[in-house]
Chains A and B, each alone.
Chain A
Amino acid sequence: VAEPAAPPRPGGGRSKRVGIDIGGTFTDVFVFDDETGELRTGKTWSTPDDPSQLVGVFDELGIDLGAVSVFSHAATVGVNAVVTRTGVPTGMLCTRGHRDVLDFGRGLRGIEQLWDLSSLRPHLVRPIVPRVWRRPITERVLYDGSVLVPLDEEEVVREAAWLAAQGVESLAIAFINSYVNPEHERRAKEIVRRELPGLSVSTSTEIFPAFRELYRTTSVAINAYVSPKVDAYLEQLERRLRGRGFEGLFTVMKVDGGFATVDAVRGRGIETMHSGPVAGVSAARFVGEAGARENLLLIDMGGTTADVSVVTDGMPPFTREYEVEQDLFLGIPAIEVQSIGAGGGSIAWIDSGGALRVGPASAGSSPGPACYGRGGDRPTVTDAHVVRGTLSPDHFLGGATKLDVARARAAVETVAARLGLSVEAAAQGIIDIVEVNMVGALRDVTIYQGRDPRDYALFAFGAAGPMHASALGAELGAAEVVIPPWPGEFSAFGLLASDYRVELGRSLVRPLSEIRGDELTGILLELERQALERLVSQGVDPATVAFRRWLDGAYQGQSWDTTCELPRQAFADEDVAACGGRFEDAYEQAWGNRLGMPVRVSALRVTAVGRSQRPALGRLPAGGVRPEDGAVLGEVQATLRDDGVPGRRRLPVYDRDRLRAGNRIEGPALVVQRSSTTVLHAADRALVDEIGNIVIEVEAR
């Protein structure tokens, strides 16, 4: 595979950047032309993880691969392999006595399953590494890195050979306390490489040297399970693209929101997991930056789920405990995106206490909401919108599909009768419940983390997001609500709007007072050197690389870390104490008090970001305060909550494609575009800005 050594230059006949995001139902495509500034969006049915289908998308949309300078992709092959348990046969070498880390998880049961005695931890029922393929190895490293029992090298050879004979194709190595001393893992890998060169091998510390064996063990298991598939998929896709004349740069999105080349993620398939939702965060950061917004609250609502995230001072929050399913963690730096079962297809039901519930079950695309007329008869959020009138049956998907109002009413009637409410009130109830679920998730990432939603702009996207944006913004008291120009394809746009990113860390687990200044400096410089090397190898211009340094720590005696940023300087011994002060500031910010006690350093980390060439977005042509006459498509009858007007009222329907910068719209109104409808409530005042965002001023409730 020919890999370009440097980022391609715009011009020279190659001017198009293409981002492709594969969703559960639709594959979204975003094309931007550097020379003309033209942008296009496209949608096609998904055939997950089939490279040839993806190549076909270019034909479908008439894109000349020879004209493409950058192709960026959020691959779903890794996450799908885990969800459907179709990864490669994977074995594991673990410390003798600790064979069941994957099955044990955290041992706890969720509040809903606590007394449901037939609810089992997923990995016990559907293992990614079955117990028979988790092989104990005689070796033991202690808490301080000292070796209690040396690695039994012959046993490694024997067990690996047995696993290979069983048909295992990929091997994960995870030993206890390897975060302080990775030598046994490293040596075991070396041995397996030598003896069984055909086997793919990953060790827990090379994925990320995190404290707490569960997070390292699940990470390396996932990585071993998905990497061969991810590698094969990306290589095959690249080969096909090259075969069709593609000479540009091929990048993939990682779960930390950064780009990487295919080479850089080879053998590290875990990094490509969940990159679709993360792409939405990149898109919002980009559009936010263009409008000078640094604090963003994001809600991406599709058919089955709503993904929630937050960006503060231009930075999204990172986690190393991203939970793919119960107790299966990505223990690597990942942008925190919370997913809840609240989408347009979420089903409303009545529980045994007579309370109205919505989701997490979803009607999906088949049978779909009742109003689609494809056999669904359970009431969904989309049906509630149709009953309420906020989803106009005549303007759905540009009028291409008619929605069946009678079926929607009949479905909602099934819950209305049991609640003793009118169909309209029940429809409003369904919307209120799904909104409170989303507000709960949005509050989780703001108020519960010490962030005030009044300092944030709520970015709502995904096909269903703009229908709820104004109500959510009002409930949260958000500073403003922003509907970006292409809410339905926003994540695909995010694939063009990110940077290269590498994060490296080293676990210490030592009192800060015992760390010397030159040691601190040395570790950080070494991490920066390695990070830079990785970026440069991907063609990043070293001059564009920005480093940041982080200290994960806790008060001596605590277990869960609080993170603070460290300055980029050479540390003298007396500067180390100042790092403690920075830690205390961060702790107080997060938890409301400072304890003035000794600090323990868990890990030092470095993040390195290398700029990519981002698209230069054009501006929307200016218009008057009033939208042009043709922008009003008509009127609908709808009910809205809390606007003081009982019963149905008339709402104008605007065509978003005909809105111009500077246009103002007073609520109540609907703004429709092909893949989405924006609902404006009575007190809302909306402005179209020059980027094309609809910016809504909402009245806090």
Chain B
Amino acid sequence: VTAAGGADPITREVLRSSLVNIVSNMENGMLRTAFSLVARDLRDVACGIHTAPADGLELAAVAAGVPILAVVTHFGLRENLVEFGVEQLEPGDEIVFNDPFRGGNHAPDVTIARPVFDDEGLLAICTTRSHWVDVGGVSMGSWPVGGGVRTVMEETSLRLPPMFIYRRGAAVKSTHSLILDASRLPQLVLGDLRAQHTANAIGERELLALVRRHGRQTVLDAMRYSLDYAEARVRAGLAAIPDGEFEAEDVIDDDGVATGPFRIRCRLTVRGDDAELDFSGTARQTEGNASSPWGMSAACALVSLKSLVDPTIPSNGGAFRPIDLILPEGSLVHVLPYHACADGNGTTSGRIASVVLRIVNQALAGRAAGDFYGVAGVSNFGGYDDPRPGRASRPWVLFHSVFGGYGATAASDGQSFAKLPLANCIDPAVEAIEQDAPVVVVAKELSPDSGGPGEHRGGLGTYYALGFLADAVAANSTDRILNENFGAAGGRGSHRSFVESTAGIERAVTSHGEAREATPVAGLFRDSGSGQEEFLTGKFLGRAVHLGDVWHKFVPGGGGWGDPLRRDPARVALDVRNGLVTVAGARDDYGVVLTDALEVDVDATAALRAALAGDAAFGDRTGPSTWHDGPSRAWTETGYGPAVDEEREDER
């Protein structure tokens, strides 16, 4: 395969695959040598290969890592390298940067970029972006949320403009010292930083091998081809949408300071195979730190649109060429320097995906899907002492990132237990978490009735219970407390998210099925006496957690697709037998009546469905009925103990 110029379609396709393979290998190297749980087990990491400056520094190849991190680097690399001065770069150099306002997302996500030179000069740039476990600032884990932080300087001790971190192959000590001195967990940061260096070196070695084999020009052509190929695929997808304008909006509950709703509005205009996404009409940036920097918003909007139009298109820079983007300055989707924005990465980013999904549901009805679980659900628990026997007294952090349900589609029920596709992480093993941090994962299970009801049920949400073997401080980001997610084509959304706490880890394991005293942490809670509702924000920092406490996190499921009264009763019965839907849920959400043996009562079901079809209150429901009276009831009915219907199973 040495055809000069690489003009033939076969060679270019061969090399396109090779570039993706190289990025996969970079990510594998990164994962296997990283030190923090975030990088090595959660895989909150992405690598990429970008074209040289002469070709626009576009992201030419990505693999399976966190898509949003790779695409943010697509924007950030250009911003940082142009400012830094490309002419300064020499072989063996690496540049580090993380500034949210230079095309980034938030301070903990740090890019290290390595220019790759061959004999004739700069060939390409290899990049790795990784979530560092702590980059200083007011909150352990450096993801403060909500009130008390007004600027990015309070959020982080490490706002890095582009700087040398390796120079001609040697580690730059001053930059290393700056970074390590800013972190409460320097050992982990150093380990991960070196893992990024290892990954970049793998990328360089492989790219140069490709050039030796195929020639410089062929490899450059292949990068251009990869970009053109993705562009052509997106254009084909856009051309399938009828010309027109599609508008949608969604909201975030609050920003931890003021209660919203804060609106994100978007209009898609399609003309032939060109498109424009215009976020005019989106709320102003808010006092808290839920607003998103432009690089993050651009990445979320563009990746969501192109992926929903055609899920198989590679997420490289070429895919974004056909789409113009308008992000109004000073809005929730384009926060201005140097306003705090750490949680724009969790809350607003996920909602941008929901808004784009709403638009696609209008524009391409055949692809319509219920919403994602739609919350960051991230908690950073940390402390200054790990008191477990044999453990050194030093700071620790658990970055707890949740998985939830996906929406259902015309083709199938929704996926349970997945990460937003923008953040395709790996779920760390319970045993890895427990080795790492003074935490007991008491439960990690599907929570019944949490899938959005529909002819196709949304994926189920997740119930987590975390017990603490040390005192800690928590920062948390949860949304969808006041404003639930949505279904498609007549399907319903899932329940509202919430967090509660109890005392006693042992008790949490053993006291299943019993009523228990829970302290509300975040959610919309209804007083059973007065019926008054109280909203406790899910966006906060500095919350004390005590040894022996257990946090119970309820992550929503995905939205349903289609009328729940059309769901096959046999599938509802199967869901009940499997503990995914309760007997009450089957009756109230699906109009399916089950016998004591959990078989479908055909006549009663037909009668109930007929009644519900004409019942306006049923038609107005937005989510699963068993969760409507507030979290506590749902919990006792569906918590980690044997649910009511499990006991019924026993009678079968």
Contacts and interface: CB of A to CB of B under 8 A. Distances in A.
Interface of A: 96-100, 103-121, 124, 130-132, 136, 138, 140, 142-144, 148-149, 162, 166, 176-177, 179, 211-214, 351-356, 419, 421, 428-429, 432-433, 436-437, 440, 443-444, 447-448, 475, 509, 555, 557-560, 562, 591-593, 595, 642, 701
Contacts of B531: none
A264 B420 CA distance: 45
A148 B440 contact: yes
A118 B509 contact: no
20 contacts: A96-B512, A104-B403, A104-B427, A107-B403, A108-B64, A108-B424, A109-B419, A114-B64, A115-B421, A116-B311, A116-B312, A124-B415, A140-B509, A212-B429, A354-B232, A355-B13, A355-B16, A555-B35, A559-B34, A560-B31
B17 interface: yes
Nearest to A138: B510
A59 to B, nearest CB: 46
A105 B427 CA distance: 8
B9 interface: yes
A213 B441 CA distance: 12
Contact of B435 (A119, A148, A509, A593): A509
B526 interface: no
B454 interface: no
Contact of A100 (B311, B429, B444, B512): B444
Nearest to B234: A353
The 10 closest A-B pairs by CB, nearest first: A97-B443, A107-B427, A115-B311, A115-B307, A118-B411, A212-B429, A131-B578, A143-B434, A111-B64, A353-B233
Interface in B401-424: 403, 406-407, 409-419, 421, 424
Interface stretch (B187-195, B249-257, B537-545, B612-620): B187-195
Interface in B1-46: 1-2, 9-11, 13-14, 16-18, 21, 25, 28-29, 31-37, 40-41, 43
B506 interface: yes
Contacts of A214: 429
Contacts of A444: 21, 25
A560 B43 CA distance: 12
Interface of B: 1-2, 9-11, 13-14, 16-18, 21, 25, 28-29, 31-37, 40-41, 43, 63-64, 67, 187-188, 191, 194, 198, 201-202, 206, 209, 213, 229-230, 232-233, 236-237, 307-308, 310-313, 369, 388-390, 403, 406-407, 409-419, 421, 424-427, 429-432, 434-435, 440-446, 465, 505-506, 509-510, 512, 577-580, 640, 642, 649-650, 652
A147 to B, nearest CB: 10
- Which of A107, A149, A177, A351: most chain B Cβ within 10 A? A107
A642 B237 CA distance: 37
A683 to B, nearest CB: 13
B434 A177 contact: yes
Given A432-B14, A592-B201, 12 more contacts: A97-B443, A108-B427, A109-B415, A109-B418, A109-B419, A114-B307, A213-B431, A353-B230, A557-B35, A558-B191, A595-B191, A701-B1
Contacts of A356: 9-10, 13
Contacts of B429: 211-214
Contact of B430 (A103, A213, A642): A213
Contacts of B410: 118
B425 A557 contact: no
A112 B577 CA distance: 32
A110 B64 contact: yes
Contact of B509 (A148, A421, A509): A148
B194 A593 contact: yes
A212 B432 contact: yes
A429 B415 contact: no
A106 B427 contact: yes
Given A118-B409, A149-B506, A557-B35, A100 B417 contact: yes
Contacts of A98: 430, 443-445
Given A356-B13, A429-B10, A114 B311 contact: yes
Contact of B25 (A143, A149, A211, A448): A448
Contacts of B311: 113-117
B17 A108 contact: no
Contacts of A119: 415
Given A100-B444, A114-B67, A440-B21, A179 B431 contact: yes
A419 B9 CA distance: 8
B578 A132 contact: yes
B642 A559 contact: no
Nearest to A474: B1
Contact of B419 (A108, A351, A559): A108
A589 to B, nearest CB: 13
B403 A555 contact: no
A558 B35 contact: yes
Contact of A108 (B10, B43, B413, B509): B43
Contacts of B229: 353, 355
B510 A149 contact: yes
B198 A114 contact: no
A142 B434 contact: yes
Contacts of B427: 104-108
Contacts of B308: 115
Contacts of B510: 138, 149
Contacts of B414: 117
Contact of A447 (B187, B198, B206): B206
Contact of B9 (A352, A429, A509): A429
Contacts of A149: 506, 509-510
A469 B201 CA distance: 31
Contacts of A421: 9
A41 to B, nearest CB: 35
A558 B190 CA distance: 12
Contacts of B32: 560, 562, 591
Contacts of B369: 117
A98 B440 CA distance: 12
A318 to B, nearest CB: 16
Nearest to A140: B509
A557 B187 contact: yes
A583 to B, nearest CB: 14
Given A119-B415, A353-B233, A176 B445 contact: no
Contacts of A121: 415-417
Contacts of A105: 427
A356 B11 CA distance: 11
Contacts of A177: 431, 434
B63 A352 contact: no
A106 B426 contact: yes
Given A116-B312, A144-B389, A111 B63 contact: yes
B414 to A, nearest CB: 7
A99 B445 contact: yes
Contacts of B17: 436-437, 440
Given A118-B411, A119-B415, A432 B10 contact: yes
Contacts of A701: 1-2, 213
B509 A103 contact: no
A97 B444 contact: yes
A428 B10 CA distance: 9
Nearest to B467: A148
A642 B2 contact: yes
A143 B230 CA distance: 47
Interface centre among B33, B407, B413, B510 (most CB of A within 10 A): B33
Given A112-B312, A212-B432, A592-B198, A120 B642 contact: no
A105 to B, nearest CB: 8
In this complex, the member of A110, A213, A437, A562 whose beta carbon has the largest number of chain B beta carbons within 10 angstroms is A213
A144 B635 CA distance: 30
